[in-house]
Amino acid sequence: MNRWRWPAVGLFSAAAAVGAVGALPRVLADEPAPSAYAAGAAVFQTNCVVCHGAKGQGQPGLAPPLTVYPSHYITSPEGRRQLAMTVLYGMYGDISVEGQHYNFRMPNFARLDDGALATVLNYVVFDMAHATPEAKPIQPEEIAAERAQSLGGDAVRVHRAALVTALGL
Ligand code: HEC
């Protein structure tokens, strides 16, 4: 009986070895193009992934997905402000994204500098939400312009409510 097993195992490992070698160039070819916002990806991994998930998919009832709305926000001045305000001041209270409700607390990230906040937002907008490449990336100056207000996360949510209505979201 073993006579039949050994050749089968041998064949399997040979096939696996050939497969592995053969697969190498394909694996490299399938890798996504490197992001223009690699620094933003790193900031996201460290600060945001725990709530929003590795692909920005969010968590039902807790943290909203970042895969759609940010690509709309980036197209309007108030939307760009909204993105900056959300990371600078956080946000809390009930919101809805594509008809789903979320109600938890987004902490503020004012401790991160303007460049780090701009790049993490660009990573969200362009790599996660796939905004049109014609959209203008957020500049560190736009973050700086929103700093040093006495805004709370509730005010950020009120600003968001007007924005989503204006954008028809
Ligand atoms: C502790 C969990 C948590 C962390 C960490 C977190 N967020 Fe959030 N985020 C939330 C929650 C919760 C909301 C929605 C707040 C609400 O319900 O009012 C939110 C909302 C947002 C929004 C607004 C989405 C919309 O539709 O308007 C953006 C943009 C965002 N987060 C980006 C980030 C970025 C970038 C980071 C990292 C720098 C981050 N978040 C870290 C929980 C988190």
Same domain, 17 and 39: no
Same domain, 76 and 113: yes
pTM: 0.84
CA of 104 to the centre of ligand 1 (A): 9
Mean pLDDT within 90-96: 96
CA of 128 to the centre of ligand 1 (A): 14
Q: How far apart are CA 72 and CA 103, in angstroms?
A: 21
Same domain, 114 and 70: yes
CB-hemisphere CA count at 13 Å for 58? 21
* Nearest atom within ligand 1 for CA of residue 44: 37
Our answer on whether the CB atom of 73 is closer than 6 Å to any ligand 1 atom is no
Tell the residue nearest (CA) to atom 8 of ligand 1: 106
Same domain, 119 and 153: yes
pLDDT band at residue 117 using 50, 70 and 90 as cut-offs: very high
Same domain, 41 and 14: no
Using the predicted structure, report yes or no on whether residue 26 has a pLDDT greater than 80. Answer: no
Same domain, 11 and 53: no
Using the predicted structure, report yes or no on whether residue 18 has a pLDDT greater than 60. Answer: no
Using most ligand atoms within 8 A of CB, pick from 80, 101, 106 the residue to mutate for ligand 1: 106
Our answer on whether the CB atom of 80 is closer than 6 Å to any ligand 1 atom is no
Share of the chain above pLDDT 70, in %: 80
- Contact between 154 and 96 under an 8 Å Cβ cutoff? The reply is no
Same domain, 4 and 64: no
Using the predicted structure, report yes or no on whether residue 2 has a pLDDT greater than 70. Answer: no
Using the predicted structure, report yes or no on whether residue 66 has a pLDDT greater than 60. Answer: yes
Confidence at residue 30, expressed as pLDDT on a 0 to 100 scale? 60
Looking at the structure of the chain, the number of domains it has is: 2
Same domain, 98 and 78: yes
Max intra-chain CA distance, the chain: 79
Same domain, 134 and 102: yes
Same domain, 59 and 91: yes
pLDDT band at residue 33 using 50, 70 and 90 as cut-offs: low
Same domain, 18 and 56: no
Q: 20: domain range?
A: 1-31
Confidence at residue 36, expressed as pLDDT on a 0 to 100 scale? 83
CA of 52 to the centre of ligand 1 (A): 7
CATH (domain of 81): 1.10.760.10
Same domain, 43 and 21: no
Secondary structure of the chain in HEC code, one letter for each residue: CHHHHHHHHHHHHHHHHHHHHHHHHHHHHHCCCCCCCHHHHHHHHHHCHHHHCCCCCCCCCCCCCCCCHHHHHCCCHHHHHHHHHHHHHCEECCEEECCEEECCEECCCCCCCHHHHHHHHHHHHHHHCCCCCCCCCCCHHHHHHHCCCCCCHHHHHHHHHHHHHHHCC
